[in-house]
Amino acid sequence: MKISDYVIVGAGSAGCALAYRLTEAGRSVTLIEFGGSDMGPFIQMPAALSYPMNMPRYDWGFMTQPEPHLGGRRLATPRGKVIGGSSSINGMVFVRGHRKDFDFWAESGAAGWGYDDVLPYFKRMETWHGGASEWRGTDGPLHVTRGPRENPLFDAFIEAGQQAGWPHTADYNGEHQEGFGPMEATIWQGRRWSAANAYLRPARKTGLLTVVRGFARRILFRDLRAYGVEIDRKGQVEQIHAGREVILSASSINTPKLLMLSGIGPAGHLQDHGITPLADRPGVGSNLQDHLEIYMQYQSLQPITLYGHYNLFGKGRVGAEWMLTKTGLGASNQFESCGFIRSSDQVDYPDIQYHFLPLAVRYDGKVAAQGHGFQAHVGPMRSKSRGTVRLNSAQPKDAPLISFNYMSHEDDWKEFRACIRLTRKIFDQPAFAPYRGDEIQPGAAVESDEQIDAFIRDHAESAYHPCGTARMGAASDPMAVVDPELRVIGVEGLRVADSSIFPRITNGNLNAPSIMTGEKAADHILGRAALPGRKDLRAAE
């Protein structure tokens, strides 16, 4: 096999964007991905989103260690094992994050990653179908759309948020995130518009991209310089060499695992597993963060929810319409309205997110409430809890040990209680009076702090937003793993470009900032000047 300029591990959100931009610049790329094709209807049909994240064919199937503050429960941690990575199995919700998220990154050592620095990359990556806006992109590979909101419950949720005292936001990805409004999705012409559809397929057409299906075992080093990746392919161990650099885009779970298997990580932990440390970076696998959420569910007084389609015949009819026309209920992820609010006036920007769904059902699609209902997914955005990813052994095929340490900070409990009480306030507004029946979950009897805490302990689930395990920061920061150019500190020829690099989790779903990371990484790798930073438009008016 010829040697490509760059070897990327992981055909996920950031890896696909990165491969596209590098090949667009005339560079040759070998992209290593263990998962197979993403062309099945379970992936491409938006409404089928609960299926691929629970299918071993498409999902790595990671589970946490028993979580001590959640009653010892082990929580699912899905990660995409398929072309497109987690963008092929996620909920397709598109949220950039808040300005202050990225300004925090810059202030904590990630120079050049403040909001004004990253905004041009968010714009470059998208084609937004919401009309003219100086905040949005118009000719990028990633189509961003809004659902039709034909079910009256979607607009009732937005109206109820305003009746409860919060603003309406016309575009939470634009100037103002705070408030209630329409939700955006990576859906185009009725199909999931994953990173594979947006970036990888165009990159293949350049003739400069080679996709290799294989299991990455470790990074190959000559002295302290990375020169390739060792993979398992069809039962054989092979080496894929890079002419210039190796880039890890393997997820916030598999990227730190690969770094540690390759000798980069906490020296004592590596030695415990018989791995000779190449670079002692204690931050590898640390700083693990996620969003937790619970589902506030209510019975519907009117038979207008998706429950009428939640049976074998109904699903078949929706699927058939989508297969024939790419329209109908199957063409939406059914998250068509949302909210971003502050838990109190003492918080300076939103710290609670809502996804509204016109069905009372578990996220994995396994259990629907008996009868018509609706729900809001709600949870705090900036938990202070931090966890770890650690090696289980030195065997590459062994899954890592994942410990989020959820709810380990006392503020998490206070914020989650606020989530439940504020959600009740929203659903108690006049906009929901024609629709709102009894509270299914947690149930009206769950009122005291102790009762709410018990409900959270038993029912909180991951929103599947893991990040932070190879934190970006100043090269002098002992806990940083990559510098602001995304170069792994302590070695040469190796970078990380995925959600591992996030110093702190962003407000909302992580697909958009992960793709932005791949976009921006490309300019760093190519040695290009960053896109011109954007001055605050409000100050210019």
Render the burial of 161-170: b for 16+ CB within 10 Å, e for the rest: bbbbebeebe
Q: Please, which residues have CB within 8 angstroms of residue 205's CB and are 6 or more apart in sequence?
A: none
Give, in order, the Cα–Cα distances in Å from 183 to each of 134, 147, 157: 19, 8, 12
To the query of whether residue 465 is one of the catalytic residues in this protein, the response is yes
Task: Output the CA angle 96-56-76, nearest 5 degrees.
Answer: 55
- Quickly list H helices, 78-227: 99-107, 115-125, 152-163, 195, 201-204
The answer to whether 304 and 373 are in contact (CB under 8 A) is no
The answer to whether 1 and 211 are in contact (CB under 8 A) is no
Residue 505: how many CB atoms within 10 A of its CB?
23
Q: Does 40 carry a binding-site annotation?
A: no
Residue 2: how many CB atoms within 10 A of its CB?
8
Q: Does 53 carry a binding-site annotation?
A: no
| Overall residue count recorded for the chain in this entry | 541
- Pick the catalytic residue from 98, 355, 372, 465: 465
Burial class (CB in 10 A: 0-12, 13-18, 19+), 108: middle
The answer to whether 491 and 120 are in contact (CB under 8 A) is no
The answer to whether 123 and 140 are in contact (CB under 8 A) is yes
Q: Does 318 carry a binding-site annotation?
A: no
User: In degrees to the nearest 10, what's the CA dihedral of 185, 187, 189, 194?
Assistant: 150
Whole-angstrom distance, CA of residue 146 vs CA of residue 148: 7
Whole-angstrom distance, CA of residue 485 vs CA of residue 481: 11
Q: Which long-range contacts (CB under 8 A, 24 or more apart) does 319-324 make?
A: 319/41, 319/45, 319/48, 322/41, 322/45, 322/47, 322/190, 323/41
Q: Does 91 carry a binding-site annotation?
A: yes
Whole-angstrom distance, CA of residue 529 vs CA of residue 522: 11
Q: Does 90 carry a binding-site annotation?
A: yes
DSSP 8-state assignment for residue 59: B
Identify the sign of the CA torsion 162, 165, 171, 177: negative
Residues linked to residue 32 through DSSP beta bridges, in sequence order = 9, 212
Q: Which tokens go with 200?
A: 């990888």
Instruction: Name residue 159's amino acid.
Output: E
Edge to edge, what strands does the sheet with 142-146 contain? Answer: 126-128, 142-146, 184-185
The residue to which tokens 């006036």 are assigned? 345
Annotated binding-site residues for FAD read 82, 90-93
Annotated binding-site residues read 82, 90-93
Q: Which residues are catalytic?
A: 465
